[in-house]
């Protein structure tokens, strides 16, 4: 309910009270449902790197300038400041950790106190992360929303298209001085075993779903664990149902499953544009499966869902992949809202929050003529800028066309004059693998995050407490209070 509806509801109640609704003036007892019998659910959606320009571009790409993504329809919105404790521009670890813990920490630190220093892990020549260099007196764990939910006996789960040990999901269930320590982060998930995060109670998370099996498997089985442990086998022994492809996931009836571990790929899952649906499910299907499992807990649940690869496509400056992954993320939000409404039609007991952890440097150039959505034969927002009067390609000072989407920095920078780009057209710029041009030249895959505030949208229980421009640490308190965690 937004403020206006609340006001109207309040006014109606007052009027009814003043008029008297029947001859009996004694007030009717207010029917109350005992708090403990009502499940309370929180679904926290995080679009990694999904800045406002990426959201706008994804809207045009998917439904045209005048269409709406599901994210556009969320009734409550806010802007979020994302700077970290030591940096104007954050990485995913401290920004997600700020949402999860309310503590502003240093770049690369995962859900630890503010004084924690990020220390790179020991890495061998093959890039294997051998050991934890954090040091004995380097900060203390900061309690997360997921841990608070766990402490109340709620169900808990993480779903990501990235590795489930990557910074964003890691910040919900682990505490460590550096995000690259993914072997340690994976070990935090195995109840009772070495390295387990005991704040996850005696039985751990109920749902773990995404990519990244390499940090669960020993080196001899193609994994990257130097300690020889097989965490998939260990979790199986702890009664987790295990899936590794779409068919296996489909075969698992979530409504009859208490624990689910689904790791579909060795590293990150595929970009949605490249995804083989027989091998890897959509983020929407993963999300609704997780909701089935978690709904078995009568007290409710806390679920984190990450669109993890929007960020990676932006680092690579392949806009089409980033926009398609943003649409896949939006589809997951749509599916989650629809599913939640089946049992909670007005979302009175379900809070759904959608936000991003940081911006990137994607921009929309020029005064482009409206393109409508991208479809066969129409590049849409992925095309070159066309004059809104003549429909002809607009040219830069060097006489060359330029794409609507560009980047502040990235790998495709034309050195010197762009005159050689005279033949640039929609076919070139809308290709799946096209790297949009950048103002500042960087190495391959090294486009940076941006420091602009990000969008937050919310719907359901307590959603109307999100408004204005807020610090990322404030999101923690708002979710905690709205959900009663």
Give the residue numbers of the binding site for Zn(2+).
48, 311, 315, 357-358, 449
Give me Rg for the CA atoms of the chain: 24
| 48/171 Cα distance (integer angstroms) | 13
| 464/475 Cα distance (integer angstroms) | 13
> Residues 186, 217: contact at Cβ < 8 Å?
no
Closest residue to Zn ion using C-beta atoms: 92
Written as one string, the DSSP assignment of 416-429 is S-SGGGTT--HHHH
- Number of Cβ within a 10 Å radius of residue 376: 4
Neighbouring-strand partners of residue 156: 302
Q: Report which of 446, 166, 179 is spatially closest to residue 314, judged by C-alpha positions.
A: 446
Q: Which stretch binds Zn ion (CB under 5 A): 265-273, 351-359, 361-369, 386-394?
A: 351-359
Restricting to residues 32-51, name those near Zn ion by CB under 5 A: 48-49
Instruction: Between 97 and 154, name the residue whose CB sits nearer to Zn ion.
Output: 97
> Residues 338, 285: contact at Cβ < 8 Å?
no
Q: Does residue 108 touch Zn ion according to CB under 5 A? A: no
Q: Minimum CB separation from Zn ion for residue 88, in Å?
A: 15
The token pair that represents 44 in the structure block:
């926290």
Q: Does residue 426 touch Zn ion according to CB under 5 A? A: no
Neighbouring-strand partners of residue 74: none
Instruction: Between 92 and 287, name the residue whose CB sits nearer to Zn ion.
Output: 92
Restricting to residues 232-291, name those near Zn ion by CB under 5 A: none
Restricting to residues 378-417, name those near Zn ion by CB under 5 A: none
Q: Minimum CB separation from Zn ion for residue 150, in Å?
A: 24
Q: Does residue 92 touch Zn ion according to CB under 5 A? A: yes
Q: Which stretch binds Zn ion (CB under 5 A): 51-59, 92-100, 122-130, 180-188?
A: 92-100
Q: Minimum CB separation from Zn ion for residue 109, in Å?
A: 14
What string marks each residue from 184 to 223 as x (binds Zn ion by CB under 5 A) or -?
----------------------------------------
Among 108, 147, 311, 330, binds Zn ion (CB under 5 A): 311
> Residues 271, 289: contact at Cβ < 8 Å?
no
Tell me if residue 282 is catalytic.
Answer: no
| Exposed e or buried b per residue across 25-48, where buried means at least 16 C-beta atoms within 10 angstroms of its C-beta | eeeeeeeeeeeeeebbbbbbbbbb
**How many positions of this chain bind Zn ion (CB under 5 A)?**
5
| Cα 95–chain centre separation | 11
Question: Which residue positions form the known binding site?
Answer: 48, 166, 168, 306, 311, 315, 357-358, 449
Q: Does residue 161 touch Zn ion according to CB under 5 A? A: no
Q: Minimum CB separation from Zn ion for residue 342, in Å?
A: 32
Residues that bind Zn ion (CB under 5 A): 48-49, 92, 311, 357
Residues marked active site are found at 92
């Amino acid at each position: 309910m937004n403020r206006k509806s609340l006001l109207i509801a309040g006014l109606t109640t007052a009027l009814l009270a003043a008029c008297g609704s029947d001859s009996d003036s004694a007030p009717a007892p207010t029917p109350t449902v005992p708090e403990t019998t009502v499940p309370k659910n929180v679904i926290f959606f995080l679009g990694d790197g999904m800045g406002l320009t990426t959201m706008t571009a994804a809207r045009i790409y998917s439904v045209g300038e005048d269409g709406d993504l599901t994210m556009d329809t969320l009734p409550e919105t806010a802007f979020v400041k994302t700077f970290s404790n030591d940096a104007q521009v954050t990485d995913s670890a401290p920004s997600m950790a700020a949402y999860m813990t309310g503590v502003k920490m240093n770049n690369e630190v995962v859900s630890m106190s503010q004084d924690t220093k990020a220390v790179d892990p020991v890495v061998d020549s093959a890039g294997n992360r051998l050991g934890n260099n954090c040091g004995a007196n380097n900060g203390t764990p900061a309690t997360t929303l997921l841990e608070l939910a766990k402490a109340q006996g709620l169900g808990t789960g993480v779903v990501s298209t990235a590795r489930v040990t990557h910074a964003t999901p890691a910040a919900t269930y682990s505490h460590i001085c550096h995000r690259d320590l993914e072997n340690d982060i994976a070990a935090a998930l195995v109840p009772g075993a070495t390295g387990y995060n005991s704040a996850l109670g005696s039985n751990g998370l109920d749902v773990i779903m995404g990519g990244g099996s390499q940090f669960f498997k020993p080196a001899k089985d193609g994994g990257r664990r130097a300690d020889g442990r097989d965490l998939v086998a260990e979790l199986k022994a702890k009664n987790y149902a295990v899936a590794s492809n779409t068919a296996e996931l489909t075969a698992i009836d979530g409504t009859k499953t208490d624990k689910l571990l689904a790791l579909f790929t060795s590293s990150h899952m595929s970009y949605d544009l490249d995804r083989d649906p027989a091998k890897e499910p959509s983020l929407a299907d993963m999300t609704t499966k997780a909701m089935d499992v978690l709904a078995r807990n009568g007290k409710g649940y806390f679920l984190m869902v990450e669109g993890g690869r929007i960020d990676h496509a932006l680092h690579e400056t392949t806009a089409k992949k980033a926009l398609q992954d943003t649409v896949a993320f939006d589809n997951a939000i749509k599916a989650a809202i629809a599913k939640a409404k089946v049992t909670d039609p007005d979302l009175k007991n379900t809070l759904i929050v959608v936000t991003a952890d940081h911006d990137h440097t994607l921009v929309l150039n020029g005064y482009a003529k409206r393109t409508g959505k991208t479809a066969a034969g129409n590049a849409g927002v992925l095309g070159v800028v066309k004059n809104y009067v003549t429909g002809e390609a607009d040219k830069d000072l060097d006489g060359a066309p330029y794409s609507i989407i560009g980047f502040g920095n990235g790998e495709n920078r034309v050195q010197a004059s762009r005159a050689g780009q005279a033949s640039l057209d929609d076919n070139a710029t809308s290709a799946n693998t096209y790297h949009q041009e950048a103002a500042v030249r960087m190495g391959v895959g090294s486009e940076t995050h941006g420091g602009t505030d990000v969008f937050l949208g919310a719907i359901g229980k307590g959603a109307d407490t999100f408004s204005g421009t807020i610090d990322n640490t404030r999101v923690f308190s708002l979710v905690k209070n709205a959900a009663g965690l």
